[in-house]
Amino acid sequence: MGRRMSEACRLADLKRQKAAFAANFVGIHSRRRFEEEFANRPVKAGRLVDLDFLHKIEFPYLKAMEEFGWITYLTSGIEVFDGLVKIFYTNAMKISDECFSTYIMGKYYEIKRGTIAEALGIADEGEEYNAYKDHKTLSFAKKVLGKRSLRVAPRYAKVLKMHDRLLHLIVTYILTPSGTSYSVIQRRDYWLMAMIKSGKKPNLPGLIFNDMLRIVEATEPCTLLYGMLLSLMFAKLNVDTSCDLGIMHQSMTVKKEDIGSDFEGELEMDFEEMENGDEDEMNVEGGQGSIAELAATIDDVKGRVYNVEKQTKKILELLTAMHARGGGSSSGSQ
């Protein structure tokens, strides 16, 4: 009897949710657009940062992030409403380069950089990224990150040192996810990492707004970014989220580690299984997903260095032998 009542209550709740969800559609065209173009798109929710671990390893870029006012966002444990995130992008329409509108739960909202800044709890200020001045980006990144990372083609994140690798994960998982592989360093990643390392504040609301606007204007299906941030924004805008079952996103927890000579123990990160198609995919088993590939990466780099040294040694031996033969023949001729 109790089981049947609980099942009836569950069905009644689902029916109420479905009825409430209908308030997101202005008409049949809006609903059809959602069902055909957005319902099955992946949403990148984001991750939480384990501050205790970063303090423990004396993560050198934590102070800059604290000064930028990013820590609250990086550690916010809010539920992510995937369904409403999809609605947000389904109903979004560009108004200008500085604004777009959307329709959620029976209300229209204008989204600007200031809206995003308020959700993040920071000011809409800082240096802007300009993709058309990319030579400056690479020049700046080269000074801060070092030339070696920029010489690798394609630019894989595994060439980065340990702390820079962690910084790249924070950038690509939380701050400005791109919807592409986490294993490759994009040019904007270089710029953002260089800004953080040098203590220069980038305009994060501006970066995020431009990303959202690109999704709004996109003519081809793409990953829907900023699930965590948009859920924070829904709370700030007092959006009724009762029609969507929120999901608590998992945290980026890094435990005591042993990567090369930097740490003691073993490096592990707890992640959800990454989205299909990511080249840097890590599967979680038993609640703990080990990033053994980072250790393997270091071994791989060491192996390459060893091979180069070995080849260099052979070349030097050959040159020495050639020189000796040349010297011998000269002596004989005299």
Mean pLDDT computed over 135-149: 68
Percent of the chain with pLDDT over 70: 63
pLDDT > 90 fraction of the chain, expressed in percent and rounded: 37
| Adjacent-strand bridge partners of 99 | 96
Q: Tell me the sheet residues that pair with 270.
A: 253
What is the per-residue pLDDT for 105? 92
pLDDT over threshold 80, residue 329: no
What is the per-residue pLDDT across 186-215, written as a single tens digit (0 to 9) for each? 888 888 999 999 999 999 999 999 999 999
* Residue 147 pLDDT: 64
Q: What is the pLDDT of residue 263?
A: 38
Cis peptide before 60 (omega within 30 of 0): no
Of the candidates 108, 88, 111, the residue with the CA atom closest to the CA atom of residue 34: 88
Provide DSSP, 292-332.
Answer: HHHHHHHHHHHHHHHHHHHHHHHHHHHHHHHHHHHHHHHHH
Tokens encoding 313: 């040694």
Residues 6+ apart with CB under 8 A from 313: none
pLDDT in tens, 69-82: 999 999 887 788 99
Name the band, by pLDDT with cuts 50, 70 and 90, for residue 1. low
CA angle (251 as vertex; 193, 61 as ends), nearest 5? 25
**What is the reported pLDDT for 16?**
67
Q: For residue 332, count CB atoms less than 10 angstroms from its CB and return exposed for 0-12, middle for 13-18, buried for 19 or more.
A: exposed
pLDDT, one tens digit per residue, over 86-122 is 999 999 999 999 999 999 999 999 999 999 999 999 9
| 89: three-class secondary structure by DSSP | helix
d(CA 62, CA 57): 11
Q: pLDDT tier at 46 (50, 70, 90 boundaries)?
A: confident
Q: How far apart are the C-alpha atoms of 63 and 198, rounded to whole Å?
A: 11
Mean per-residue pLDDT over the chain, rounded: 75
